[in-house]
Amino acid sequence: MNRKLVALAVSSALTVPAGAFAQASSVQIYGRLNVGLDNYSATGATAGSGADFKSRARIYDSGSRLGFRGSEDLGGGLKAIFQMESGVNVDTGNNLGQSTAANGSTGFLASRDSFAGLDGGWGRVKFGRQSLFWSNGAIAQTGGNYISAEVPWISHHGGMGRVAGINSRQSNVTMYDSPNWGSFNFSAFYVPNSEAVQVNANTDARLWGVTLRYTGPLRVLYDHAEDQAASGGANRRKIVGDKLGVGWPYAPGAQISLVWVRNQNRDAAAVTNFSALHDNIAQSAWGLNWEHSIGNVQILAIWSKLQKASGCSALNGTSNGCDGTDATGYTLGARYNLSKRTAAYVGWNAIRNSANQIADYTGSGMSSATGGGPLPAASAGADPRLWSLGVWHQF
């Protein structure tokens, strides 16, 4: 059935009875399918070959989704807006990632960015489940919008291995998006992380942040976010994230960009071989991203260095727990655009972890490994590799 007819049918079904309002909502059905064949391994573990993840072929899904969005004109320049987007695993039909661990962004209605709000000349306010901090917008889109994966800490999927970061998609978000003032705009968000707190427990957990954007001869994006745990426990963990990206679009479909990310884990928990209780841990990364189009072919490359963490007071054997926590990440990809909506691509990703680092492809559940850190991760010192051959279709 023609997608416009389907949208019209859905719109009719959702429309309130005649006469209740002067203007009915318009509804758009949209989505993306991103699936293919890949090969994952993580070998060279510090503990020896018994801790390696052997090479395995996989059929994968990376960020496929189905959504409904629309708006209603309320008059006077004011609109009601809404979106309900759900992650779908086309490879399996369930809500599990490649490691068979649950992927919270798939398998349920509104599992991805979903909200309702108001839009006017003063800006836009939205309430619901929304993406925070991780996106680089138009500055670096390789893993988010072109192929299946990229250097993980560039888009901040899964933090930095040993050092946790701001979770990329959060529930219960209040978001404000400013209007455009020339080439500048910003977003601010707040999450009251206290809904499930039990009797007599503290309710002072919170998450907030701001994103600043500039679009001109250069593209600039700055993110700051703070995730504060509730008081009253053995420690009051606070994750602070900062990210700065600068992109130079030197030709149509071509860009060179630099991304810097820094995570801080203040008043951290004790982690074996890494941190002691109440440590203040910090780690930074730099990444260089290149995108270039020649006709229907798009070439993609990323190089990034994850620097050694600092602030550890625990020991890893006889050495400091922060020693051996650096890593280097690489991404190469090529994409052939068969039409405006469909593309075929190949991708190669590699991470070279030092002896006490566990960085892995945790975004979109792409890792086959679980355990070893605050998020699914390979064994310490193991070097994840990921080859992919995929098809991308957007509708």
Three-class DSSP labels, 121-188: CCEEEEEEEEECCCCCCCCCCHHHHHCCCCCCCCCCCCCCCCCCCCCCEEEEEEEEECCCECCEEEEE
pLDDT of 101: 86
The answer for residues whose C-beta is within 8 angstroms of residue 149's C-beta and 6 or more apart is 62, 143, 331, 347, 349, 361, 363, 364, 366, 386, 388
Q: Tell me the C-alpha distance between 368 and 372, whole Å.
A: 13
pLDDT of 167: 84
The answer for residues whose C-beta is within 8 angstroms of residue 50's C-beta and 6 or more apart is none
Tokens of 368: 């086959």
pLDDT of 14: 46
pLDDT of 19: 42
Which structural domains are found in the chain, ordered by start?
33-394 (2.40.160.10)
pLDDT of 157: 62
pLDDT (tens digit per residue) in 106-123: 989 999 999 999 999 999
Tokens of 91: 């490879």
The stretches in the chain having pLDDT less than 50 are: 1-2, 4-22, 372-375
Q: Tell me the C-alpha distance between 221 and 259, whole Å.
A: 9
| Backbone angles phi and psi of 365, in degrees to 5 | 65, 30
Q: What is the pTM of this model?
A: 0.90
pLDDT of 51: 93
Residue 232's identity, in one-letter code, is G
Which has the closest alpha carbon to 311: 322, 319, 302, 303?
322
pLDDT of 175: 98
pLDDT of 375: 45
pLDDT of 20: 43
